Structure 1
Amino acid sequence: MSYQGRINRTGGTRVKRALGVQAALEWAFRVEKAQLELPVLQDANEGGFGFGLEYVLLHRAALGCKIDGGRHKIGTYIHEDAEVIAATVAGMPDKLGGKRMAIRVAELARAGLTPDWMPGAVPRCVPVEVKRNQHGERATTVVVGTERVLSRGKWRTVDVLACPVTYVPHPQQIEAARRAYADWWQALGWIRDGLIDGGMLRTVEVTEAMPKVRPWNHR
């Protein structure tokens, strides 16, 4: 689907363009190049961020009431609905990551990307260090103890060697990547619900469609 397509009209009635929340975000930040304007707390001691729909309504008032409105930033036209979407993202509540998540969502949308949840990643047991020479590769070993062994009728002390190993990628690395994806998914759900419930978009209709909640469970 082209994000830049014109809104069709039938019999003088405006037909909204239906977009899932991820597509709507990419249209706003990637195509319309909306900017994320994060609110600044008046009281530095206040613990919350998330201004929610109240903050978006303030932006709506600043945008004016023209159906085909929008603002000019440095001489560039930005669609009014894109501004509203950006304002909604800026209102991300602390419980979902606040400013940090708002920036993350905007950056990913601007790049047209989904968080890397490390698809297909399976931890492999590999040596911590490998030495290479003309004879090939050899895993590095370390002395972990000594043992007394009977060899040719004599007791000898020999080193006990072990090969330190690790897992690549580490399971915690995979878990962290997928937890970050899940956090992003929840943030998109909040944005979707806010845009649908707020009813402030005039040419775009955000649908219930969402990215897969756990894509690593799908084959």
Structure 2
Amino acid sequence: MTLQRPINKRGVRAKRALGVQAALEWAFRIEKAQLELPPPTNVVEEGFGFGLEYVLMQRAVLGCKVDGGQHKMGSYTHSVAEVIAATVAGMPDSLGGIRMAIYVAELARAGLTPDWLPGVVPRCVPVETKRNQHGERATTIVVSTERVLSRGKWRTVEVLACPVTWRPHPEQIASARRGYEDWWQALDWVRDGLMAGRMLREVEVTVAMPKVRPWVSG
């Protein structure tokens, strides 16, 4: 997807409208933007150049907006994509911080949405099975013994049980869906930041968002 802005009736190129997920995928997947993460807290900042975030803040103070070239050439990354990457890199700790920023960027780079295990329902299944000439059967274990009267004689017999489990476990499904919700909250924060910053001259980030809980029908 190239960043070709539509031309309005006055012959002026209008901003291209993108939802935040589409904007992230364009920045990281097409433009190959990289996260400019802050240095570790135990690293002395002297000797480091000004980061992109600092430059963006200074431009904001001066009232400037970022503009970029029309086409990607070689290793050139569109400045709009760099702004998007810088916004992601500023993910607050309350939403997962650097770890979430990397997660959001990697998903966008792959063009993926977090796997919330759609259509998966926990099933009660044997813990272990074995196969013989009669087919596959659940493995049983001895849980106790009983004395029973059989044909006039008392005999000791084993009481067998089949250990079962839930697959996938309900907690696995719940964990996957919590992960999706965390990702959604991160995208919501990025969207609000890009919309409020007004630093994307060629792109207009819309209010469009992925479904907040796609596993909830209706």
- TM, length-normalised to structure 1: 0.85
- Matched AA of 2:198: G
SS of residue matched to 1:13: coil
What is aligned with 1:67?
Answer: 67
| 8 A Cα contact 1:139 1:163, kept in partner | yes
- 41, 55, 58: which one aligns with 2:55: 58
- TM, length-normalised to structure 2: 0.86
- Matched AA of 1:103: I
| 8 A Cα contact 2:67 2:80, kept in partner | no
User: Which residues of 2 match residues 36-115 of structure 1 at below 5 A?
Assistant: 36-42=35-41, 56=53, 58-59=55-56, 67-68=67-68, 75-115=74-114
Distance across 2 between alignment mates of 1:153 and 1:55: 90
User: Which residues of 2 match residues 177-196 of structure 1 at below 5 A?
Assistant: 177-196=176-195
Distance across 2 between alignment mates of 1:60 and 1:206: 19
Distance across 1 between alignment mates of 2:205 and 2:105: 17
How much has 1:60 moved relative to structure 2? 6.2
| 8 A Cα contact 1:127 1:164, kept in partner | yes
Change (3 A) 1:126 1:168: same
Alpha-carbon RMSD across the aligned residues, in angstroms, is: 2.4
Change (3 A) 1:215 1:107: same
| 8 A Cα contact 2:128 2:138, kept in partner | yes
Higher strand proportion (structure 1 or 2): 1
Q: Structure 2: any 5+ residue segments left out of the alignment?
A: 44-50
The count of aligned residue pairs is 205
Distance across 2 between alignment mates of 1:109 and 1:133: 47
Runs of 4+ in structure 1 off by over 4 angstroms are 41-44
Q: Structure 1: any 5+ residue segments left out of the alignment?
A: 45-53
